[in-house]
Every structure is written in C-alpha cells, then in structure tokens.
C-alpha cells in the first residue's frame, strides 16, 4: 500500500527548492534520494496546496501544504539509537556541537544503515524532554572530520539555519593541499553545479551553476620538490556541496587524499619518506576546525573548535607543516 505524507512548510523552509525540502523531511525513507524525489515530483506524486507540482525547482512559501504519495517500494527505515562514541564540544538545552570523526557517515543510508552519527545522536538524546529530537544543521562528508552543529528541536533547527547563514557566522576548515600556493590569502570564486553524468560529483565553471566563494589563508608551506605542499585555512562564504574540495582542485591545489577531485601527486614528490606518508593518508585532508555563530535563543556568540584528529596531526608533522 502506498504511503501518503503531508508536510506543512514552516519558516525554516521558506524559499527553498521543493526537492530539497522533501529530502530533508523524508530523511527516514530509505529510497528518498534527491534524484528519486525529483522523479516522484515529475511523475505527479507530489501536490502543493492540492495542485500537482511537476517542477523540483519550485520554491516553497510559508504555510504551503505539501502532500506526497510514496510508492509502496519506498519503505520507511526506522533509525535505531546506538551506543557509539560521541565527542561533544558544546551543549545546552537547545543545541549541541559535535566533533565528527573521519570515516563516520552522518546519516543512515542504504549502504550504511547503522553506525552513523545520527544513530549515536539518538542514543545521546534518549533522556531528552518529550518533543525533542536531534537534527543536523549542515553536513560533513564521510571522510571529513570536525565541527558539526545539531539542533534539539524543529524550531531551533530553523533558527540555526538562519544564524549559520548570516554574515555574522563563520565556518573555518583546515586543508592540506598539493601545489605551490604563492598567494598568502585570497578568494576562490567559481560557480558550482552537479555533473549531469555523475550526480554525486560537483563541477565548476558551469554557466547555469550557483555562485560560490571560499576565502583562503596560507598558514604554512613546504617546497616538496616538483609538487609543493601547503596548509590552508578556508572560510566558507557560501555552503555548496563539496565546495572547498572543488574550489581548491579547480585552482590547481587538490586536497591530499581526495580520491574524487584530487590526483595522486605523491608519486611525483622526490622525498621518498614524504611521498610514502602522503600516499598512506587514507582520506581527504580536510577538517572542520572552527564554527562561530549567534545563539538563536540566548543571542550570545558561540564559538566551537575541534582539534584536528591524530591522523591529520601526524600528516602535518610528516610534511613539516606545523
């Protein structure tokens, strides 16, 4: 039997694309990938205010009543609370900040139904007051470590989205990159969009893509003959998927260990021990180091910092980037 969901758009979803809103609200539906949701919309399975919606790009407004008829095959997955290690940086009655380890998926998927950050958060929230439930405000790639903000209610989630999207907030990342970074600082400005060939890949310089900006500062660099290496601090001015990874790769500074957007440039480094250390690094060398924002309830400034994990620090030592 088909499953019918009805969603009333609140202020946190105002102005967002319909497909993205549904993806967030259908987080418990295993089959609800963005591509699948777009197909459901285009097939007439979604109505807005009782009128069929056929464009995934349609923008939502406050008070819209969205109804979606989920096909019988789109079975709901029940997220289980799992007692997993959780590094809490900050917590109060409204929100918390987590230091996510590299390798941990943030949300259950078909390939990773257990052992995710959300499973750990549900265990952490087992004694929260009725009506409270953890929800992620932003995402980190599986192999990116560092600060991630979590809301404890829908109202706080919407308020945090606004706070983290304002000019008063900041998100800083540390990245180890290949290349000769001669500029001490600068801004990377390139339009980004999903690749038509591979929807999980983001490409730059597409004419119809979304504008995006990343500010960088060079913290350290070494010659690493024939290639060059540097440690950068990157601040997001926009929050596109894979933004830092794509921006740096497009500039000619791919992140060490990035198998999707980088290249195995370790093979060109003449120092054998350094080359071996870079080859052995198991993931993209990207760490969400610092997030600051105005608390949506207390209206105080919250600053959350996460010390880079052991593998990242070892890489900095081996590459003489400290």
Looking at the annotation, which residues are catalytic? 141
What is the C-alpha R_g of the chain?
A: 21
Place of tokens 């000769």: 180
Q: Distance from CA of residue 208 to its chain's centroid? A: 22
Helix axes 34-42, 18-25, angle to 10 degrees: 120
Alpha-carbon distance of 320 to 178, in angstroms, equals: 14
Encoded tokens for 189: 């400005």
Helix (H, G, I), strand (E, B) or coil at 228: coil
End-to-end CA distance of the chain: 59
Q: How many helices (H) and strands (E) does the chain have?
A: 7, 16
Alpha-carbon distance of 32 to 24, in angstroms, equals: 9
Q: Are 228 and 183 in contact (CB under 8 A)?
A: no
Q: Reduce the secondary structure of 116-168 to three states and give it as a string.
A: CHHHHHHHHCCCCCCCCCCEEECCCCCCCEEEEEEECCHHHHHHHHHHHCCCC
């Amino acid at each position: 039997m088909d499953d019918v969901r009805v969603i009333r758009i609140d202020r946190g979803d105002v102005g967002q694309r319909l497909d993205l809103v549904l993806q967030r609200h259908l987080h418990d539906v295993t089959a609800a990938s963005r591509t699948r949701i777009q197909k459901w919309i285009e097939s007439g399975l979604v109505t807005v205010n009782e009128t069929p919606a056929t464009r995934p790009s349609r923008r939502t407004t406050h008070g819209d009543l969205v109804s979606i008829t989920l096909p019988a095959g789109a079975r709901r997955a029940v997220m289980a609370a799992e007692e997993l290690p959780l590094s809490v940086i900050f917590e109060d009655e409204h929100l918390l900040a987590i230091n996510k380890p590299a390798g941990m998926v943030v949300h259950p998927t078909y390939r990773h139904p257990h052992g995710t950050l959300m499973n750990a958060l549900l265990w952490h929230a087992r004694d929260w007051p009725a009506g409270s439930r953890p929800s992620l405000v932003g995402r980190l790639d599986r192999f990116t470590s560092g600060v991630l903000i979590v809301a404890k209610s829908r109202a706080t989630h919407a308020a945090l989205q606004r706070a983290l999207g304002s000019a008063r907030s900041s998100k800083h990342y540390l990245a180890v990159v290949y290349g000769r970074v001669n500029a001490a600082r600068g801004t990377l400005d390139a339009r980004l969009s999903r690749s038509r060939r591979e929807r999980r890949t983001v490409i730059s310089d597409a004419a119809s893509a979304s504008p995006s900006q990343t500010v960088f500062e060079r913290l350290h660099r070494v010659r690493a003959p024939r290639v060059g290496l540097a440690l950068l601090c990157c601040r997001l001015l926009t929050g596109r998927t894979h933004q830092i990874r794509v921006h740096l790769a497009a500039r000619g500074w791919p992140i060490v260990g990035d198998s999707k957007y980088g290249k195995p440039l370790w093979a060109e480094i003449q120092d054998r021990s350094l080359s071996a250390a870079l080859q052995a690094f198991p993931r993209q060398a990207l760490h969400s180091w610092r997030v600051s924002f105005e608390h949506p309830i207390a209206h105080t400034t919250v600053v959350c910092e996460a010390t880079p994990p052991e593998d990242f620090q070892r890489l900095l030592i081996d590459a003489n980037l400290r």
